[in-house]
Amino acid sequence: MIKVGIVGGTGYTGVELLRLLAQHPDAEVAVITSRSESGVRVADMYPNLRGHYDQLAFSVPDSASLGACDVVFFATPHGVAHALAGELLAAGTRVIDLSADFRLQDADEWARWYGQAHGAPDLLPQAVYGLPEVNREQIRSARLIAVPGCYPTATQLGFLPLLEAGLADPTRLIADCKSGVSGAGRAAKVGSLFCEAGESLMAYSVKGHRHLPEISQGLRRAVGGEVGLTFVPHLTPMIRGIHSTLYATVADRAVDLQALYEERYRDEPFVDVMPAGSHPETRSVRGANVCRIAVHRPQGGDLVVVLAVIDNLVKGASGQAVQNMNILFGLDERLGLSSPAMLP
C-alpha cells in the first residue's frame, strides 16, 4: 500500500485528489495538511467524502510526518513547494507537484512570469514534466514530478501529432482555449462569483498568460526548435472543463490526419481520438481522466483545426497526478481512474 501525503488539501485540486484516491486500491492517504484548517476532519469539510476519510484530519505541514510517506502531492499555490520539496526528497519521499513550481526548466523565466525569485532552482534539473503521453519512461524513475497545467495538457496533446510528424508550420500556431470557473481556484474572487461569471464569456491575459511559456516549452521539445504560438484563454460559465480549439497550417493536403492521430494515441489509455467529423464536448469528460480529441481540415484547405477537451480538475490536474503516481510505482496506469465521465 502506497502511503500518501497531501500538502494543501482544501482547494479544488486537493479535494479532487482525495476523491480519486478514495477509490484507489493501492494507495492510502495518511497525512493531509492545511495551516488554516488544522484539526478539522476531512469528512466535516467535504461531506461527499464521508465514509472514506472519517478519521483523517487536516494538520499543520510537518516535514517529519510528510517525509514518512512514500509520495507527497503538493496541491498548493505557486511558491509553496519550493520550501518543502527539497527536505522531502532528501528523506527519500517522492514528490508530485500540481502547482507550477517545477514545470519551467528556466528559473529566470519562471521568476518573470510568477513575479518572484524561484525558491529551489537546484531542484529543476531533476524535475520531470509529468505528461505521460510524452515522458512516460522518465516518470518511471523520477523523484520529483511537475504535473502539467490544464491549458497546457489539452493544448499539447492536441498539437503534438502534427508537430512530431513535422507536418505543421511551427511558427504559426494558435490556441483558442476556454476554461470553467473552477480553474480560478476555490479562494473568493469577484471575477469568480456566480453573478460575475454566469451568462458571460470573456477572454483574459491576451498579452500573456502564465501557461504560455509552459506550452511553448513542450512544443519546442516536440519540434526541436522554436515555435510561434498565440494563446488566448477565455473564462466560460461552467464549473469544470477545458475546450481547446487549435489551429495549425498543414500544407500537405494528402496526409491522413485521422490516421495520424489514431496511430499516435493508439496505446494511450487516457486519450480518445474520436471518429472523423466529431465535435467533443466538455461534458463528455466531466469527472474523467480523459482527453478527447477530434481533428478537422475545413474545406480541405491548409488550415487544420484540432478540438481537445479535458476536465481541468482531473486530466488537467489531480487525475493526471494520480496517473503519474501509478506510473512511478509500477502500477496499472488506470488504477483509481477508470470511472467514466458523468452525464448530465
In which region does residue 236 sit, left (phi positive, over 0), alpha (psi from -120 to 50) or beta (all else)?
beta
Q: What is the pLDDT of residue 9?
A: 87
Residue at 290 is within a domain: yes
| Grid cell at residue 181 | 470557473
Q: Which of 69, 150, 177, 291 is catalytic?
A: 150
Whether residue 103 sits in one domain with residue 196: no
Rounded Cα gap, residues 43 and 229, in angstroms: 44
Burial of 255 from C-beta contacts in 10 A (0-12 / 13-18 / 19+): middle
Angle at 63 between CA 59 and CA 66, to 5 degrees: 65
Could you list the beta-strand ranges (E) of 238-344: 242-249, 271-273, 291-296, 303-310
Residue at 84 is within a domain: yes
Residue at 329 is within a domain: no
Residue at 22 is within a domain: yes
Residue at 233 is within a domain: yes
Q: What is the pLDDT of residue 187?
A: 80
Whether residue 304 sits in one domain with residue 155: yes
174 SS3 class: strand
CATH number at residue 87: 3.40.50.720
**pTM higher than 0.95:** yes
Q: What is the pLDDT of residue 171?
A: 97
Order of all β-strands in the sheet with 58-59: 58-59, 27-33, 2-7, 71-74, 94-97, 144-146, 127-129
Say how many C-beta atoms besides its own lie within 10 A of residue 275's C-beta.
Answer: 8
Quote the number of domains for the chain.
2
What Rg value do the Cα atoms of the chain yield, rounded? Answer: 20
Q: What is the pLDDT of residue 24?
A: 97
Q: What is the pLDDT of residue 189?
A: 84
Residue at 331 is within a domain: no
Whether residue 86 sits in one domain with residue 44: yes
pLDDT along the chain (344 residues), means of 10: 95 95 97 92 95 95 95 95 95 97 97 96 98 98 98 98 98 97 84 87 95 98 97 96 98 97 98 98 98 97 98 98 98 96 90
Q: What is the pLDDT of residue 197?
A: 86
Whether residue 156 sits in one domain with residue 125: no
Whether residue 116 sits in one domain with residue 189: no
Rounded Cα gap, residues 146 and 154, in angstroms: 16
Whether residue 171 sits in one domain with residue 123: no
Residue at 174 is within a domain: yes
Whether residue 82 sits in one domain with residue 24: yes
**Backbone phi, psi, residue 162, to 5°:** -70, -40
Rounded Cα gap, residues 154 and 319, in angstroms: 14
Residue at 134 is within a domain: no
CB 20 within 8 A of CB 335: no
Rounded Cα gap, residues 270 and 196, in angstroms: 34
Whether residue 123 sits in one domain with residue 156: no
> What sections of 68-191 are H helices per DSSP?
80-90, 107-114, 132-140, 150-164
Q: What is the pLDDT of residue 243?
A: 98
CATH number at residue 236: 3.30.360.10
Whether residue 113 sits in one domain with residue 189: no
Q: What is the pLDDT of residue 192?
A: 85
In terms of residue numbers, what domain contains 186? 151-311
Whether residue 291 sits in one domain with residue 228: yes
CA atoms within 13 A on the CB side of 152: 28
Q: What is the pLDDT of residue 80?
A: 92
Q: What is the pLDDT of residue 170?
A: 98
Whether residue 193 sits in one domain with residue 123: no
Catalytic site residue 69? Answer: no
Whether residue 92 sits in one domain with residue 20: yes
